[in-house]
Structure 1
Amino acid sequence: MDTVLAFDFGLKRIGVAVGNTVIRQAQPLAVIRAATNDGKFAEIGELIRQWQPAVCVVGLPRHPDGVEHEMSVRCRRFANQLHGRFDVATVLVDERYSSAVISHQRGEAIDDRAAAIILQQYFDDESHS
């Protein structure tokens, strides 16, 4: 059984979800709100030490037509930093519709739920079986 962490990267907040390769069910875990890049990576590092993931999944935003935009580049950079700083495999998952799924929900802390949707997409994709 391998643990998987997923991240919904944002400039102000990063949503985090957790799951494993046996149950294949994503659960919201945390919302990282650190003001600095170093602070964000310190919190992420603590989660990685605690959960020891085999892989980290990062949501890759795209326009509805599939074209990447500015946040796509930032998310790719974030995934590369996760890999480089923590020596953990990273996978990018199309997150085009994750926000739409939870947009009807109220409250600010939806980032962890968006990360859970991204992780569930990863689990549901047969290529990751």
Structure 2
Amino acid sequence: MSQTKSPAKPRTILAFDFGTTRIGVAVGQELLGTANSLPPLQARDGIPNKEQLEKLLKEWQPDAFVVGLPLNMDGTESEMSRRARKFGNRLYGQYGKPWFGMDERGTTKQAKQIAKELGHKGSYKKTPVDGIAAQLILEAWFAELQREQPTEV
């Protein structure tokens, strides 16, 4: 007779599309594997506005963070991916929640295409796509988790 383990509490995850002036944000629920974009955080040289970040954390009470890593096309680290890792480490150090890096190559291009399909016109500086990029990063992370988990029979 097999015993069934009770599933762990589903986690709420906040994802970030790291940038030096804006940081895209998305929130998702691990059980559903879905994500929604949120307004971006303003940043100064990659450091987010502390009040905005605190408000976000209080509202969503995440269990973990996912940070997009802008790797080079050959998979090697870029200066921005090193800075994104530093951002993830700062989140862990300040809030004690685990963080996971996720390859984000191509997400900004894909986010711009999605915005265009949704009827977005004009400058991406006025209407940023950072939240859509963060949503894509988180959805990809959820999909990777699903591939790694064995299915029960």
* Aligned-partner residue type, residue 131 of structure 2: D
- 1:119 is matched with 138
- Runs of 5+ consecutive residues of structure 1 not aligned to the other structure: none
Alignment partner for residue 81 of structure 2, among 67, 72, 81? 72
The alignment status of 1:83 with 2:92, answered yes or no, reads yes
CA shift at 1:36, angstroms? Answer: 7.4
Alignment partner for residue 40 of structure 1, among 26, 37, 49? 49
1:73/1:34 CA distance change after superposition, 3 Å: closer
TM-score, normalised with respect to structure 1: 0.90
Q: How many residues align?
A: 129
The alignment status of 1:50 with 2:59, answered yes or no, reads yes
* Aligned-partner residue type, residue 16 of structure 1: V
Higher relative contact order (CA 8 A, sep 6+): 1
Asked if structure 2 preserves the Cα contact closer than 8 Å seen for 1:122 and 1:128, the reply is no
- Runs of 5+ consecutive residues of structure 2 not aligned to the other structure: 1-9
- How much is the aligned-residue C-alpha RMSD, in angstroms? 2.0
* Aligned-partner residue type, residue 58 of structure 1: V
Residue identity (%): 36
Question: If you compute each CA radius of gyration, which structure gives the higher value, 1 or 2?
Answer: 2
Partner-residue secondary structure (3-state), 2:68: strand
TM-score, normalised with respect to structure 2: 0.76
CA shift at 1:9, angstroms? Answer: 0.7
